[in-house]
């Protein structure tokens, strides 16, 4: 079963210094942190913060193509996590025909935000992600997850590269 989530914000992992997009289920406040690349974080941040760019960025270009081809993004689904790597699917529709496209979650999220499409995460992914270890001993992982759970809205200020 898939859970609808919203982008709570972007933060920088205090341990690895990598960006994290934090998804949240507003109903039960479950969160899903997904470590992403700097460029993908920037693409997400531009949309969240409504920052105009002088020229179309990659995800803006993709949105333009989809709009011109009359392809709707019905939803994106973070559908798996294996070896600390998350996977996503983009569910599209054109002229009544359904299409599913494999994607990195960061790209799928950046596109979903631009297309105002819903973001879902499979329940199994949330369950598996809660048990992920991001270091050998697991101590830093536990501290990081506790830190993520305590973040408030003020902690998700403007994303800085």
DSSP single-letter state for residue 156: G
CATH topology of domain 2-150: Bifunctional nuclease domain (3.10.690)
The partner residues of 31 in beta bridges, in order of sequence, read: 24
Residue 138 reports pLDDT greater than 80: no
pLDDT at 161: 45
pLDDT in tens, 139-156: 555 565 566 666 666 665
Mean pLDDT (the chain, rounded):
87
- The residue ranges of every structural domain in the chain are 2-150
Among residues 125, 120, 104, the alpha carbon closest in space to that of 43 is found at 104
Residues 6+ apart with CB under 8 A from 71: 92, 93, 94, 99
Q: Against a cut of 0.75, is the pTM above it?
A: yes
- Token pair of 67, please? 């709009």
pLDDT in tens, 72-124: 999 999 999 998 899 999 999 999 999 999 999 999 999 999 999 999 999 99
- Token pair of 56, please? 């179309």
pLDDT at 133: 47
């Amino acid at each position: 079963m898939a859970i609808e989530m919203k982008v709570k914000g972007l933060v920088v992992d205090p341990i690895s210094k990598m960006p994290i997009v934090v998804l949240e289920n507003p109903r039960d406040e479950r969160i899903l942190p997904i470590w992403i690349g700097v460029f993908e974080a920037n693409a997400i941040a531009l949309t969240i913060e409504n920052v105009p760019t002088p020229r179309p960025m990659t995800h803006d270009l993709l949105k333009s193509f989809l709009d011109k081809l009359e392809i709707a993004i019905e939803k994106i689904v973070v559908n798996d996590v294996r070896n600390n790597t998350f996977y996503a699917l983009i569910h599209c529709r054109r002229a009544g025909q359904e299409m599913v496209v494999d994607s990195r979650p960061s790209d799928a999220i950046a596109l979903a935000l631009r297309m105002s499409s819903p973001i879902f995460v499979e329940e199994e992914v949330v369950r598996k992600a809660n048990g992920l270890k991001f270091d050998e001993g697991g101590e830093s992982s536990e501290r990081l997850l506790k830190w993520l759970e305590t973040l408030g809205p003020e902690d998700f200020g403007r994303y800085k590269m």
